A and B are shown apart, each in its own frame.
Chain A
């Protein structure tokens, strides 16, 4: 993969997102592979039109990359729109989160200025962990996410192009996010939205859908219109994505009740007996003696008696593309009228 490929954007479409047990325990949407491939195609048009030279894609064995490749060939044959040159990064697929991480590092090495991530909270989390300072354009593939934008890919494509070609500067186009850091012995993990300490001793099917399994919750931000565990905190207090604080809360039978939308279609009564703000950089030891820890809603870590996981809020989370602000800035600066675009030479 050469570095001198012109203005380059990476695209990671996680083939595994949107298939977990929440399709059974909640009414979370099912997002098909072909729809992910369609989303990539909807990105390619605006990226090409607004002068992005090259798109690097993650390969996969489930058909997204294959569908995109067929679409590229069909687009070339028809010659209707200018797409960037599409290349696939060369990597050995092992079938797991590590594939997305490998792809992200290879894209960074190949000079990508931004990576568009199609996936859920989990996909964004693992990509951000692999390339912490890489700007990400976030696209949610499903109804069960908080961190990524739930937005039409075409528009994200336009904003991406405006940023990577320099029409809109990083000071406006990018926003810094917070992250939550989980330390357990030698192991360090990151979450972008929430860390939930559960009473379930095993990671199992990963999701959390029963309120009485929730022991403690740490959130980086809390928005009342969000879906998932962070909405519990939001019922007490709103915490914006750019505020330098988070929240910590503990569940116990004698506290105050809230109703929270902890999964699509699942409104549950949660009893909270302690709520406090999290201060950035301060380490919070987990009080639960044994259980498992969910990162952005998915149980990932089992811990045992004698082990005390430490949670901290950091302000150096991944930079993400603010699509609304980017487009507004572009309009205000006049570049969207009589724009300089690439068109097909006929």
Chain B
């Protein structure tokens, strides 16, 4: 039977999703104060995707992320306190404050980085997956990308290469319906991103991205298949984002009430809570405790991020490939 979701794993899944949500809701609020430098792209609404996939990964598996990378980071085990400091541009951040939201990386956690290049993750994952195959270390690589990136040559080339070399790679297309402000129904020539898989000779499946259990199960099969040498898989996660493309996006391209309806009816945390408490295995009180702990963690991360020092002039030439 595929990875059984026992109590401990269910609670872990909830904590991860709740941490991502709290982190994103808080960045949303804080960004509005003008305190955060640069752009942020929030993952709120898509938590079940990163969580459902990354729960199958080991510490030494790699993921490549997107410009909307906070959720992938947290799900892969990157420290939210360091992430918050990074977003504030502080020297205590995951990348010492030099990357910001769009470049959070933590190689020690197998997180190759958020990525400002749309579709930039595909070739990176082919690289790690090729290394895994040559070393035969049974690790896998997961490339998260969006509906916009599904139209990029890099992703198409990477999927081709992954099949040709039979790489332990999983391509997770998080189709949140919009490439920046363009609806995917206008910009993706085929009707489902998953349909493209057959052209590359790999299985392509679609899952409901609001349903943690659906993502978890499909990803479990894809990861198992990749680890055992079965080759790559494309999973299209149909999902939506609760905020704009970036913070400040007025979202005039979305229908009135679109997001509220999703929050009320499909929200991954709402669904998850209802389903795991139905049989009394997990109580509302237990989930409430996690909510409180996560809130305290995120509060603390913001307090520290605000107080921590910025990188100084001496840091300018450290951690760079070429030092002049």
A residues with a Cβ closer than 8 A to B are: 15-16, 19-21, 23-25, 30, 32-33, 61-64, 200-206, 210, 212-213, 290, 302, 304-305
Contact = CB atoms under 8 A, between A and B. Distances in A.
B195 A20 contact: no
B205 A24 contact: yes
B221 A21 contact: yes
Q: How large is the interface on B (under 10, 10 to 19, 20 to 34, 35 or more residues)?
A: 20 to 34
Contacts of A61: 185
Given A24-B205, A30-B204, A205-B218, A302 B195 contact: no
A23 B204 contact: yes
A176 B113 CA distance: 59
A16 B185 CA distance: 14
A202 B204 contact: no
A305 B185 contact: no
Interface string B173-213: 00000000000010000111011011000011111000101
B213 A202 contact: yes
B1 A210 contact: yes
Q: Which of A21, A24, A63, A210 has the most chain B CB atoms inside 10 A of its CB?
A: A24
B217 interface: yes
B214 A204 contact: yes
A19 B214 contact: no
Contacts of A33: 190-192, 195
A86 to B, nearest CB: 20
Given A33-B195, A61-B185, A19 B2 contact: no
A33 B191 CA distance: 7
A105 B207 CA distance: 27
Contacts of B218: 21, 24, 205
Contacts of A304: 278-280
Given A24-B205, A33-B190, A213 B1 contact: yes
A25 B214 contact: no
A21 B275 contact: no
Interface in B268-313: 275, 278-280
A62 B191 contact: yes
Contacts of B15: none
Given A205-B217, A302-B275, A19 B194 contact: yes
B5 interface: yes
Contacts of B204: 19, 23, 30
Contacts of B185: 61-62
14 contacts: A19-B195, A19-B204, A19-B236, A21-B205, A23-B194, A23-B205, A24-B222, A32-B198, A62-B185, A64-B191, A202-B213, A206-B214, A302-B275, A305-B280
Secondary structure of the A contact surface, majority rule = loop
B278 A19 contact: no
A302 B5 contact: no
A19 B193 CA distance: 11
A204 B213 contact: yes
B4 to A, nearest CB: 9
B139 interface: no
A21 B197 CA distance: 13
Given A30-B198, A32-B190, A62-B192, 12 more contacts: A21-B205, A23-B203, A24-B203, A30-B195, A33-B190, A33-B192, A201-B5, A202-B217, A203-B213, A204-B213, A205-B218, A212-B1
B233 interface: yes
B227 to A, nearest CB: 14
Contacts of A19: 192, 194-195, 204-206, 236
A210 B5 contact: no
A32 B222 CA distance: 21
A41 B85 CA distance: 58
Contacts of A20: 205-206
A23 B197 CA distance: 10
Contacts of B206: 16, 19-20
A204 B275 CA distance: 11
